[in-house]
């Protein structure tokens, strides 16, 4: 077989692989979309407002008057995070009303107050739950009874609001941490934790034993019909986020409310987590065949000697948190995102300077590829997130925040892409590069835990970003041979992701 024949065969095999990848990606997307939209069949979904607070009302078409369930998300979440519960309860005949807390999602009013004091931010968010409860009980189809359901941060808010509002008949607290629970209050408390939330599981059991010292996980003590019910259950095989998609958790919430309100519900348990995973996996899968539409370059960046790579990653990882330890980075109306923007900028600028001093060539900027990558990540992947997972399309007030974060995110992602040789680096090098950056963030938190505590919550988001968008960006980098294009595209996506997820906040 001559060289020309081998090349034709190789091209043919690559074409078959690309076609197979495209068909697989389309199949995954179609399967995910079909299941997600099927979960909404028969449910009327309406967007309303209670003052400036956005609400989504879920109601089964033709359902009789029923109790209201007000559903609240956790820190850095949004209404979409809680949709599995909203749809499950709506399919069961309840009037489910979810909201975006102040500073979150599409709520234009920033969070405010002192986040460390119950009479600060907590009290303001309780008032917001109260306003939404008033608006929900005034809706057509509400029968005058109400329950509260909340996750993580919201668990404390709804427990305290249930203690303050005598209208609340039941409280469903998911991944709960609250010091307000007593032996007999709030009324009809169900605590749901994931199997892998060991600390919260222990706290849930302690709160159950306050009502009955002999109680164990899974026991129901008291009488839900009389208002004295309490139960603590564990959702198997899930943690702090996936508990929101657990079939066990969803069924327990519905069945608990049925006991409290004397109902027998029908309808499906809408566990959408698997369908979301199919859709997002399909979008990632499609990235490889779609990059074939971009101009191709056969030039691969030259490998960087490991000694140089170590210097360009470890030195910024150490210097950045130390240099920023005593710097006032408060310039954005959003929790810790301003610090993160500065950290990204300093880390990225130092790494780029070191790489350049060591003779690493940055190459050209393939602007079409950079913009295509950013558009795919923001509009396609982000559009799916916004509809089914979490708020991703910003309100106008967040656009300056995204722009400010981009000033830091783009240099950091440029350094990452250049060090990764635009997707050509060995996996262990990629892991080294990204572990060094994450270690720098961890070091910053360790040096100033009080100021940067909330940064701990965002570190898993950055890990997920590297996994998902790193795969997509690598496809672009390998196709175009341009680490600059990959870095700019990923920087814009990262800035957008952080700018829409961090809560807006104004102290005072």
Neighbours of 72 (CB within 10 A): 29
CATH homologous superfamily for the domain 42-271 = Alpha/Beta hydrolase fold, catalytic domain (3.40.50.1820)
Least-confidence region, from 276-280, 288-292, 374-378: 288-292
Distance from C-alpha of 156 to C-alpha of 234, rounded to nearest angstrom: 18
Q: How confident is the model at residue 110 (pLDDT cuts 50, 70, 90)?
A: very high
Q: How does pLDDT run across 125-134, given as a tens digit for each residue? A: 999 999 999 9
pLDDT, position 16: 80
Q: How does pLDDT run across 353-393, given as a tens digit for each residue? A: 999 999 888 888 889 999 999 999 999 999 999 999 999 99
Is residue 12 over pLDDT 90?
A: no
pLDDT, position 244: 97
Q: How confident is the model at residue 5 (pLDDT cuts 50, 70, 90)?
A: low
Is residue 435 over pLDDT 80?
A: yes
Residues 159-165: contacts with CB within 8 Å, 24+ apart?
Answer: 159/186, 159/189, 160/118, 160/122, 160/126, 161/126, 161/129, 161/130, 161/133, 162/186, 162/187, 162/189, 164/126, 164/130, 165/130, 165/133
Question: Distance from first CA to last CA of the chain, Å, rounded?
Answer: 77
Is residue 285 over pLDDT 80?
A: yes
186 and 171 Cβ atoms separated by less than 8 Å: yes
Is residue 216 over pLDDT 80?
A: yes
| Mean pLDDT on 254-261 | 97
| Mean pLDDT on 75-80 | 94
Is residue 83 over pLDDT 60?
A: yes
Nearest CA among 148, 182, 159 for reference residue 253: 148
User: Helix or strand or coil: residue 20?
Assistant: helix
Q: Across the chain, what does the average pLDDT equal?
A: 92
Is residue 255 over pLDDT 80?
A: yes
Q: What separation in angstroms does the CA of 27 have from each of 20, 39, 346, 428?
A: 10, 19, 42, 31
Nearest CA among 144, 58, 73, 147 for reference residue 105: 73
- % residues pLDDT > 90 (the chain): 79
Q: How does pLDDT run across 141-183, given as a tens digit for each residue? A: 999 999 999 999 999 999 999 999 999 999 999 999 999 999 9
- % residues pLDDT > 70 (the chain): 97
217 and 197 Cβ atoms separated by less than 8 Å: no
Structural element, H or E, at residue 170: strand 168-174
| Mean pLDDT on 192-220 | 95
Q: What separation in angstroms does the CA of 380 have from each of 105, 241, 373, 376, 505?
A: 19, 23, 10, 5, 28
Contacts of 277 (CB under 8 A, 6+ apart): 32
pLDDT, position 353: 96
Distance from C-alpha of 402 to C-alpha of 493, rounded to nearest angstrom: 10
pLDDT, position 172: 98
Q: How confident is the model at residue 1 (pLDDT cuts 50, 70, 90)?
A: low
Is residue 10 over pLDDT 60?
A: no
| Mean pLDDT on 273-283 | 97
pLDDT, position 236: 97
Is residue 441 over pLDDT 70?
A: yes
Distance from C-alpha of 455 to C-alpha of 444, rounded to nearest angstrom: 9
3-state secondary structure labels for all residues of 202-266 = HHHHHHHHHHCCCCCCCCEECCHHHCCCEEEEEECCCCCCHHHHCHHHHHHHHHHHHHHHCCCCC
| Mean pLDDT on 425-429 | 91
Residue reference for tokens 């209208």? 167
Neighbours of 226 (CB within 10 A): 10
Domain edges within the chain: 42-271, 294-506
Is residue 250 over pLDDT 80?
A: yes
pLDDT, position 8: 54
Residue with the larger pLDDT of the pair 336 and 193: 193
């Amino acid at each position: 077989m001559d060289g020309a024949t081998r090349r034709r065969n190789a091209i043919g095999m690559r074409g078959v692989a690309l076609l197979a990848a495209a068909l697989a990606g389309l199949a995954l997307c179609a399967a995910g979309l079909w299941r997600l939209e099927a979960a909404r069949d028969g449910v009327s979904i309406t967007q309303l407002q209670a003052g400036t607070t956005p609400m989504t009302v879920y109601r089964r078409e033709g359902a009789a008057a029923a109790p209201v369930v007000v559903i609240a998300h956790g820190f850095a979440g949004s209404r979409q995070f809680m949709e599995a519960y909203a749809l499950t309860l709506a399919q069961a005949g309840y009037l489910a009303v979810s909201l975006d807390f102040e500073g979150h999602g599409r709520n234009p009013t920033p969070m405010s107050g002192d986040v460390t004091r119950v009479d600060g931010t907590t009290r303001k968010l309780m008032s917001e739950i109260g306003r939404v409860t008033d608006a929900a009980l005034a809706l057509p189809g509400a029968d005058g009874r109400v329950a509260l359901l909340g996750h993580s941060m919201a668990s404390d808010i709804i427990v305290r609001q249930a203690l303050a509002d005598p209208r609340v008949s039941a409280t469903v607290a998911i991944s709960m941490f609250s010091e307000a629970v007593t032996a007999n209050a709030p009324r009809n408390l169900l605590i749901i934790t994931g199997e892998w939330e060991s600390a919260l599981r222990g706290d849930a059991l302690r709160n159950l034993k306050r009502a009955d010292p002999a109680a164990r996980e899974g026991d129901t003590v008291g009488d839900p019909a009389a208002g004295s019910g309490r139960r603590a259950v564990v959702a198997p095989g899930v943690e702090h986020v996936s508990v929101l998609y657990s079939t066990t958790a969803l069924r327990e919430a519905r069945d608990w409310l049925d006991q409290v309100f004397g109902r027998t519900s029908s309808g499906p348990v809408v566990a959408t987590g698997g369908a979301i995973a199919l859709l997002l996996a399909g979008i990632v899968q499609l990235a490889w065949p779609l990059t074939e539409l971009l101009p191709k370059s056969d030039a691969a960046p030259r490998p960087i000697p490991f000694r140089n790579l170590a210097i360009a990653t470890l030195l910024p990882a150490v210097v950045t948190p130390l240099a920023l330890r005593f710097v006032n980075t408060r310039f954005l109306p959003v929790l810790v995102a301003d610090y993160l923007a500065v950290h990204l900028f300093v880390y990225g600028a130092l790494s780029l300077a070191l790489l350049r001093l060591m003779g690493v060539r940055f190459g050209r900027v393939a602007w079409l590829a950079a913009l295509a990558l950013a558009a795919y990540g923001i509009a396609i992947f982000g559009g799916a997130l916004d509809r089914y997972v979490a708020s991703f399309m910003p309100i106008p007030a967040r656009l300056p925040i995204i722009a400010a974060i981009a000033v830091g995110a783009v240099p950091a992602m440029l350094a990452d892409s250049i060090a990764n040789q635009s997707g050509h680096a060995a996996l262990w090098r990629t892991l080294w590069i990204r572990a060094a950056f994450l270690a720098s963030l961890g070091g910053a938190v360790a040096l100033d835990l009080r100021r940067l505590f909330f940064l701990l919550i965002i570190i898993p988001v950055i890990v997920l970003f590297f996994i998902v968008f790193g795969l997509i960006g690598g496809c672009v980098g390998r196709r175009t041979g341009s680490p600059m294009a990959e870095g700019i595209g990923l920087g814009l996506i990262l800035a957008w992701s952080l700018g829409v997820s961090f809560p807006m906040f104004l102290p005072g």
